[in-house]
Structure 1
Amino acid sequence: MTQSPDTATRSTRSIEVRSIDYVPRSERHGKVWHIGPLWFMCNAQITTLAIGVVSFVDGGNLIWSLIAIVLGLIIGTFFMAAHSSQGPQLGLPQMIQSRPQFGYIGALLVWLFAFLQYAGFNIFNTVLAGEAIGTAIHTATGLNPLWFWIVTVVSAVIAIAGYDLIHRMERYLSYLTIAALALLTLAGITHLHLPAGSFDLGHFSPLAFFAQLSVVAGYQISWAIYVSDYSRYLPATTPTSQTFRWTFWGSAVGGAWMIFLGAYLAAAVKNFDAGDPIPAIEQVSNDLFPGFGTIALLIFAFGLIAVIVLNMYGGSLTLISSIDSVKKVNPTLLVRIVTVVITALISGVLALFASSNFATNFSSFLVLVLYFFIPWTAVNLTDFFIVRRGHYAIAEIFKPSGIYRRWGWAGIASYLIGFVCMTPFFNTAFYVGFIAKAMGGVDISLFIGLPIAGGLYWIFTRGLDLDAERRLADAQAAELEDAAEHHLADGAAV
């Protein structure tokens, strides 16, 4: 089906109307390479710097930190990018796709954790963006409520505009960010000096190594709850391999650049504070040439706004999905605007109460994200690639009494068992599992939860009548496209 000129104009220039509903093929547009800059920008921002510092807290050195970062990026980004390929095929945002595994109501289990993640990241990002702007223009330093709210309001407006504006913004910002990062990296290499032993392979700390690896993998996997939100408008004929490739390399390159830089600064800058990297960035940038610190901080502040937008947009979709599981929602433009505003207010208000303790414990927050989403990503990807192989009766996802039922016990049981099996391997500030203690604090829960949750889900779903499900999906296909077309006109009314 080709795209009419009217539909193309309406899809790319107006405020986005759709939210959790299916995107019909007539509205699909964009190029697959567009998701590369978007995922590059998601990682190429100040928050990511903090990820590279983790191993130094536990006594690691630079070379083993870099090795752990590479492995963590490969593992985490692989699973994250695999979710991206679901978007063009299903035409749905990421979180609503959990219903076939967890059920119409049961999916609330993972949506609650997803919304907490959106809020958590936005608190940290809002604090950093506000401080970066205030420091750059010398109006204030430290925590400034005025800049918090300016950042929050600007981000909310862009999130309300929706999918196409978000993609364009990320593309243009990526050019500025690459230039700023190149100069900052040059400044670091030419003006900073690494301590002795930074590249000593004999200085290996298992605790530091696996802490760094887990946090990097967790950071990358944490994007999995967003991923198909930003690929769902691509043409349904988009090859899975291309969607995966552009997502993987965009995210991996942006992540590697910033996390490597964070590790380098942690090793070379005396008293480097991962919770407040603004002073170090300004200092190192100004070492290259006077005034570059201001330019760099403003560019990175805009990069943080770009990520805050994604959290507001994704938080809105998750909030709508959650409400819809309890009381049927007609996903109109008004509903999307209201939920974006609610998400913005929650993160903005909480940012006012954020303290240095939140920044200091950011790595602990990321590890918790890893714990909660490892079983989910295993279940979701096993269902998509191995069990149902991308074939879903999409209309049934929106029916409380549809074939996916209210409670998906196979998904719920796999998730909970996988999570419980991970707990002996946990190592957090408030809880250390008995196996992690016996291993000197080494946390390998990542490698336990993935195979157990995914393997159990495959076993529990062996009795599904997938042929009947596919026949139903084929029978509903034309009706689904027609219903989605009619919704665009109805849903645009505020």
Structure 2
Amino acid sequence: MAASAEAEPRVAGCEIRSIDYVPLNERHGKLWHLGPLWFMSNAQIATLAVGLISITEGGNLIWSLIAIVAGTVIGTFFMAFHSAQGPQLGLPQMIQSRPQFGYVGALLVWLFAYLQYAGFNIFNSILAGQALHTTVHGSVNLWVVLVTVLAFVLALVGYDVIHRAEQFLTYTFLVVFGVFTVGVLVNLGFPAGAFDLGDFHWTPFLAQFGVVAGYQISWAIYVSDYSRYLPPNVTVRKTFYWTYFGSALGGVWLMTLGALLAAWAGKDFDTIRSIKAAGDTVFHGFGAIVLLFAALGLVSVTALNMYGGSLTLIGAIDSVKKVRPTLGMRVVTIGLTAVLSLIGALAATSHFLENFENFLLLILYLFIPWTAVNLMDYYVVRRGHYAIAEIFNSRGIYGRWGWHGIIAYLVGFAVMVPFFSVGTLYVGPAAKALGGADISLFIGLPVSALLYWLLTRSIDVAAEQRLAEAEADELERAAHEHREPYDDPKQK
């Protein structure tokens, strides 16, 4: 089917689609593009800060590295399976929560998702501001504002330019951080016992594992956003692989660097200063080069958060009052997301690492039940068969409140609470009994998934599939004409 002028997904170079379905004649791109995008999204220095949690809590280096690898292997598994949903449904990630949680009920998880986008951008823009202040001087706040503005422009232009930017940054990263990593391994010294496998402590190991797994799972709310324009004939397996290995390699690389730098610097560790000092062991001034490139990476990932935050905010507004997902709506919601993140960054205190660890654990807790419910629904209950037009129908078959999903989410979260261990903020009774070790991940995932499966045994998936087939032509026509599918399919 040839693309018409009305179906063109851009206005003056800017993407206009947001939460709406991407029609087949606008599908484009190659699967391998997912690899650089998710590699570079993780290969930036906010990720580096994730890798030093165990070291700062008394763990040794070798067990920190094992925890990083284990947390990445498990956490990335879930986010990569979410990525495979995008090409099949042609929808961004969070709008896909409506079949499980309901047209209005999905607001429960969308609120948490939006807080995540804003929270990560606060940390990202602060780090970028500090990196630029250290290398080219000027006020940190001024650089934070500039980073926010650049990220806003990148997010506004949208999907295609974000993919291209991440590809370029990936190739550059391999050179700059390749040299930097060799310098760290060759030039830095590590304390005695750093590689002693006999020096094992559960609490720092599980703290590191939980933060890493949470960090990787936190990407789950993004992934379909950046695969939804791909043709639906791409395979789930290959979509999974490109996403998984891109994200996992980027994450392990930077988190490992974080652990190595923390073990080397000890109590004197500071993300920006330590990177600069380690880089300068290669040659004088190389530390500044590393930080300048790192700032570019942080601009790109800040744009990803603005883009995803905009989609989430538009979806939330649409759940309360129908809106047309226009370019103007994208401008407003990306702008609001940028402003909120900027205010948070300018008002943030200096307790960066402590706050970042707590934030990552909170994300883990909030999204473990969601990822369990969403993946169980997609891969086991409905097996990828959705009546997509009904997702935009407030009176449709998925209902306003998806009590199956809401109950499974709340119960899964509740059973996790005794196992929470959030530094000095809260340690649950089960975590105390385990010496402060946090195993809530292994509790919430199976409970939410199995409960949702039990609650949805009565769903007539075959009937939903027949409805999807009946609505398919209208869905494509509506997407070409940039309008909503009919509100009530029975009246078509």
Give me the whole-angstrom Cα distance separating, in 2, the residues matched to 1:421 and 1:326: 30
How many Å apart are 1:209 and its aligned residue? Answer: 0.9
1:12, distance to aligned residue in structure 2 (A): 11
Moved more, 200-209 or 284-293: 284-293
- In the TM superposition, 1:45-64 aligns within 5 A as 45-64=44-63
1:233 maps to: 229
Q: Distance in 2 between matches of 1:8 and 1:206?
A: 56
Is the partner of 1:126 in helix, strand or coil? helix
Alignment of 1:91-240 (within 5 A): 91-140=90-139, 144-240=140-236
Using the size of structure 1 for normalisation, the TM-score is 0.95
Distance 2:339 2:388 in 1: 32
The one of 436, 453, 457 aligned to 2:452: 457
1:293 aligns with 2:287: yes
Worse overlay, 183-192 or 370-379: 183-192
How do residues 437-476 of structure 1 correspond to structure 2 at under 5 angstroms? 437-476=432-471
AA aligned opposite 2:467: L
What is the RMSD computed on CA atoms of the aligned residues?
1.6
| 1:76-99 Cα deviation digits (max 9, x unpaired) | 000010000000000000000000
Question: Which of structure 1's runs of 4+ aligned residues deviate more than 4 A?
Answer: 3-13
Taking structure 2 as the reference length, what is the TM-score of the superposition? 0.96
Query: What's the offset of the Cα at 1:14?
Result: 2.3
Displacement of 1:357 in angstroms is: 1.8
Superposition deviation, residue 269 in structure 1: 1.7
Is the 8 Å Cα contact of residues 18 and 488 (structure 1) preserved in structure 2? no
Q: Secondary structure at the match of 2:426?
A: coil
Q: Is the 8 A contact 2:63 2:200 kept in 1?
A: yes
Question: Aligned equivalents of 2:444 and 2:152: distance in 1?
Answer: 35
Which residue type is aligned with residue 187 of structure 1?
G
**Map of 1:328-347 to 2, 5 A cutoff?**
328-347=322-341
7 and 230 in structure 1: CA distance in 2 versus 1, 3 angstrom threshold:
farther
Deviates more, 1:164-173 or 1:288-297: 288-297
Displacement of 1:149 in angstroms is 0.8
Equivalent of 2:366 in 360, 372, 376: 372
| 1:338-366 deviations in Å (ceiling 9; x for gaps) | 00000000001110011112443211110
Q: Report the CA distance between 1:293 and its aligned residue.
A: 1.6
Aligned AA for 2:444?
G
For residues 421 and 209 of structure 1, what CA distance do their matches in structure 2 show?
22
8 Å CA contact retained: 2:56, 2:262:
no
Report 1:240-259 matches (<5 A): 240-259=236-255
Match of 2:317 in 1: 323
Which amino acid in the other structure matches residue 99 of structure 1? R
2:75·2:214 contact (CA, 8 Å) conserved in 1?
yes
The residue type paired with residue 144 of structure 2 is F
Q: Which amino acid aligns with 1:220?
A: Q
CA distance in 2, matches of 1:471, 1:220: 36
- Residue 102 to residue 352, structure 1, CA distance change in 2 (3 Å): same
2:6 and 2:481 in contact (8 A); partners too? no
Do 1:63 and 1:200's aligned partners in 2 also have CA atoms closer than 8 Å? yes
* AA at the equivalent of 1:105: V
Q: Which amino acid aligns with 2:458?
A: G
Distance 2:169 2:405 in 1: 39
Alignment partner, residue 421 of structure 1: 415
The one-letter code matched in structure 1 to 2:425 is F
> Structure 1 pair 151/488, CA: closer, same or farther in 2 (3 Å)?
farther
Letter in 1 for 2:172: L
Q: What is aligned with 1:492?
A: none
Partner of residue 390, structure 1:
384
Aligned equivalents of 2:349, 2:86: Cα separation in 1: 37
Q: Whole-Å Cα distance in 2 between the matches of residues 13 and 332 of structure 1?
A: 13
Q: What are the superposed Cα offsets for residues 213-242 of structure 1, whole Å, 9 maximum, x if unpaired?
A: 100000000000001000000011011111
**What CA distance in whole angstroms lies between the structure 2 residues aligned with 1:151 and 1:269?**
28
Secondary structure of the structure 1 residue equivalent to 2:481: helix
Please state how far the C-alpha of 1:139 moved relative to its aligned partner: 3.2
SS in 1 for 2:318: helix
Maintained 8 Å contact 2:211/2:357: yes
Q: Work out the percentage of aligned pairs sharing the same amino acid.
A: 60
Cα distance, 1:296–1:165 mapped onto 2, change above 3 Å: same
Residues 320 and 339, structure 1, Cα contact 8 Å, conserved in 2: yes
- Aligned to 1:105, the other structure's residue is in SS state coil
Partners of 1:271 and 1:31 in 2: how far apart? Answer: 45
1:217 is paired with a residue whose SS is: helix
1:421-465 deviations in whole A, cap 9, x for unaligned?
A: 001100113111111111100110000000000000000000011
Call closer, same or farther: CA 1:461–1:317 in 2, change over 3 Å: same
Q: Distance in 1 between matches of 2:306 and 2:7?
A: 25
The question of whether the paired residues in 1 share the 8 Å contact of 2:9 and 2:17 is answered with no
8 Å Cα contact 1:46/1:300 also seen in 2: yes
Are the equivalent residues in 1 in contact too, given 2:7–2:482 (CA < 8 A)? no
Paired letter, 2:333: T
The reply to whether residue 477 of structure 1 matches residue 472 of structure 2 is yes
Equivalents in 1 of 2:299, 2:349: separation in Å? 20
**Is residue 65 of structure 2 the alignment partner of residue 66 of structure 1?**
yes
Alpha-carbon spacing, 1:326–1:388, altered in 2? closer, same or farther (3 Å): same
Q: Which residue among 254, 269, 277 is the counterpart of 1:283? A: 277
Equivalents in 1 of 2:268, 2:374: separation in Å? 39
User: Deviation of residue 138 (structure 1)?
Assistant: 3.0
**Matched-pair contact (CA < 8 Å) for 2:391–2:398:** yes
* Structure 1 unpaired stretches of 5+: 490-494
Greater mean deviation of Cα atoms: 98-107 or 285-294: 285-294
1:433 corresponds in structure 2 to 428
Asked if 2 retains the 8 angstrom alpha-carbon contact of 1:42 and 1:251, the reply is: yes
> CA separation in 2, counterparts of 1:7 and 1:240?
30
Kindly indicate whether the alpha-carbon contact (under 8 Å) linking 1:265 and 1:272 is maintained by their aligned counterparts in 2: no
* Shift in Å, 1:184: 1.0
Query: What one-letter code is carried by the residue in structure 2 that aligns with 1:130?
Result: G
Read off the aligned partner of 1:452 and give its amino acid letter: V
Q: Distance in 1 between matches of 2:209 and 2:142?
A: 37
Does the 8 Å CA contact 1:436/1:442 hold for their aligned counterparts?
A: yes
Number of aligned residue pairs: give it: 483
Give the AA of the match of 2:76. T
Per-residue deviation, 1:173: 0.8
Aligned equivalents of 1:488, 1:64: Cα separation in 2: 54
Instruction: Give the letter aligned to residue 149 of structure 2.
Output: V
**Are 1:303 and 2:302 counterparts?**
no
CA distance in 1, matches of 2:402, 2:110: 14
Q: 1:133 to 1:488 in 2, by over 3 A?
A: farther
| 2:76–2:217 CA contact under 8 A, matched in 1 | yes
For residues 10 and 368 of structure 1, what CA distance do their matches in structure 2 show?
36
Q: Aligned letter for 2:456?
A: T
**Structure 1's 208 and 270: CA in aligned 2 closer, same or farther, altered over 3 A?**
closer
Does 1:404 pair with 2:403?
no
Does residue 346 of structure 2 align to residue 352 of structure 1?
A: yes
